[in-house]
C-alpha cells in the first residue's frame, strides 16, 4: 500500500508509552458501551425472558422481559414438538459440511483472484460481480431440477451443496479483499525460499487469514444453521432430514403462532451460534490473530 509512509526498519521502542487513557475516559467508554449494548441486545433479552412466559403473559406483559414465574416446561415442549433432538444432528452436519466446504472453496478462489494473475481472471470477476446485483431467481425450480438430475435430492448432501453454492460469492469476495490487504513481502520471501504455489497458499497465506476464516466461517455457519427454505425443499420427501429452522415452523399455524414455544426454540437454536461466536472472536482481537506481523 503506497500510502503507508512509516519508514521501515525503525527500531521498536522497548516500552512504547503505554498511554492508557485516564480513568474518567475509561469509565465513560464502558458506560457508553454498556448502555448501547443493552439497548442493542434488548430484543434478545426479551426473547429469552419470553421463552419462560405462559402464552397469556407473552403479549400482556408487553415489553417487560421478566416472566411472572419461569416455565421451564416451554423448553421441553418446544424440544419435543419440533423434533429438535433429531433435527439438531441434521443441522449440525449440514452446518459443518457447508462451512468447511465454503471455507476451502472461497479461500482458494479468493487467493488466486486477489493475488495472482491469469488469463480469464477478468471474466471471473465480471461474472461474480454481475451475480451480486442480478436476482437469484424467484423460483427454486432450476436448482431443484439440477439437484434432482444429479441424483442428490432428499439427502443432506444436496442441502450442503446448494447452501455452500449460495455463499461462495460472498466468501470469495471477502477473502479476495483480505488477501489483497496482506503485506506482499511475506509471499515474496516465501517464494525466494523456494516455496511452491501450494506451500505459499497453505502454509503462509491461509494461516495468515485467521480473522477472515473466522469471519466467513461464522457467517457461513450462521446462514447454514438458520437456513430454512433450502433444507425444506431439498429434503421434501424425507422429513427426518429436516433442520431446526424447519422444525420451528411446527409452532406457526395458519392463523396463530405459539410464541412462547417459538421463543424457547429460538433460544435453543441460537445458543450454539453464540457459543461459536464466543469461540471465534479471539480471532478479532488485535495482536492475537497470529503471524500477520511475523
What is the C-alpha separation between 283 and 289, in angstroms, rounded?
5
Closest CA to 266 of 68, 102, 57, 78: 78
- Shortest Å, Cβ 70 to another protein: 19
Task: Cell 444436496: give the residue.
Answer: 158
85 belongs to the binding site for another protein (CB under 8 A): no
Among the listed residues 25, 28, 29, 85, the single contact to another protein using CB under 8 A: 29
Residues 199-218 that bind another protein (CB under 8 A): 200-201, 203, 206-207, 210-212, 214-215, 218
221 belongs to the binding site for another protein (CB under 8 A): no
Among the listed residues 66, 77, 88, 157, the single contact to another protein using CB under 8 A: 157
CB atoms within 10 A of CB 154: 17
291 belongs to the binding site for another protein (CB under 8 A): yes
- Shortest Å, Cβ 175 to another protein: 9
**Contact at 8 Å (CB) between 159 and 93?**
no
Q: Fill in the per-residue mask, 90 to 129: x = in contact with another protein (CB under 8 A), - = not in contact.
A: ---x--xx--x---xxx-xx-xxxxxxxxxxxx-xxxxxx
What is the C-alpha separation between 67 and 188, in angstroms, rounded?
61
CB atoms within 10 A of CB 268: 19
185 belongs to the binding site for another protein (CB under 8 A): no
Count of chain residues binding another protein (CB under 8 A): 168
- Shortest Å, Cβ 216 to another protein: 9
Sign of CA dihedral 273, 274, 275, 281: positive
162 belongs to the binding site for another protein (CB under 8 A): yes
- Shortest Å, Cβ 227 to another protein: 12
What is the C-alpha separation between 234 and 228, in angstroms, rounded?
10
83 belongs to the binding site for another protein (CB under 8 A): no
Among the listed residues 77, 86, 88, 232, the single contact to another protein using CB under 8 A: 232
**Contact at 8 Å (CB) between 245 and 162?**
no
Task: CB nearer to another protein: give 1 or 76.
Answer: 1
169 belongs to the binding site for another protein (CB under 8 A): yes
230 belongs to the binding site for another protein (CB under 8 A): no
286 contact partners, CB below 8 Å, separation of at least 6: none
- Shortest Å, Cβ 226 to another protein: 7
Task: CB nearer to another protein: give 36 or 72.
Answer: 36
Residues 237-276 that bind another protein (CB under 8 A): 237-241, 246, 249-257, 259, 262-263, 266, 270, 273-274
Amino acid at each position: 500500500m503506497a500510502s503507508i509512509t512509516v519508514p521501515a526498519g525503525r527500531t521498536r521502542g522497548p516500552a512504547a508509552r503505554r498511554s492508557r487513557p485516564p480513568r474518567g475516559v475509561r469509565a465513560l467508554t464502558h458506560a457508553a458501551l454498556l448502555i448501547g449494548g443493552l439497548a442493542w441486545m434488548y430484543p434478545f433479552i426479551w426473547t429469552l425472558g419470553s421463552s419462560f412466559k405462559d402464552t397469556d403473559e407473552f403479549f400482556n406483559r408487553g415489553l417487560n422481559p421478566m416472566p411472572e414465574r419461569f416455565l421451564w416446561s416451554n423448553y421441553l415442549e418446544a424440544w419435543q414438538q419440533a423434533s429438535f433432538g433429531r433435527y439438531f444432528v441434521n443441522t449440525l452436519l449440514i452446518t459443518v459440511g457447508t462451512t468447511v466446504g465454503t471455507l476451502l472453496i472461497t479461500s482458494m478462489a479468493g487467493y488466486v483472484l486477489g493475488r495472482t494473475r491469469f488469463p480469464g481472471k477478468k471474466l471471473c470477476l465480471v461474472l461474480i460481480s454481475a451475480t451480486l446485483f442480478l436476482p437469484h431467481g424467484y423460483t427454486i425450480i432450476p436448482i431443484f431440477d439440477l439437484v434432482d438430475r444429479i441424483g442428490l435430492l432428499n439427502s443432506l448432501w444436496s442441502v450442503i451443496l446448494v447452501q455452500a453454492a449460495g455463499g461462495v460469492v460472498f466468501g470469495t469476495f471477502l477473502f479476495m479483499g483480505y488477501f489483497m490487504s496482506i503485506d506482499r513481502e511475506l509471499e515474496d520471501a516465501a517464494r525466494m525460499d523456494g516455496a511452491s504455489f501450494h506451500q505459499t497458499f497453505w502454509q503462509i497465506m491461509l494461516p495468515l487469514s485467521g480473522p477472515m476464516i473466522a469471519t466467513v466461517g461464522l457467517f457461513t455457519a450462521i446462514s447454514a444453521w438458520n437456513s430454512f427454505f433450502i433444507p425444506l425443499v431439498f429434503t421434501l420427501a424425507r422429513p427426518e432430514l429436516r433442520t431446526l429452522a424447519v422444525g420451528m415452523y411446527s409452532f406457526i399455524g395458519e392463523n396463530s403462532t405459539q410464541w412462547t414455544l417459538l421463543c424457547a426454540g429460538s433460544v435453543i437454536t441460537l445458543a450454539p451460534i453464540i457459543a461459536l461466536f464466543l469461540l471465534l472472536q479471539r480471532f478479532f482481537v488485535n495482536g492475537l490473530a497470529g503471524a500477520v506481523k511475523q
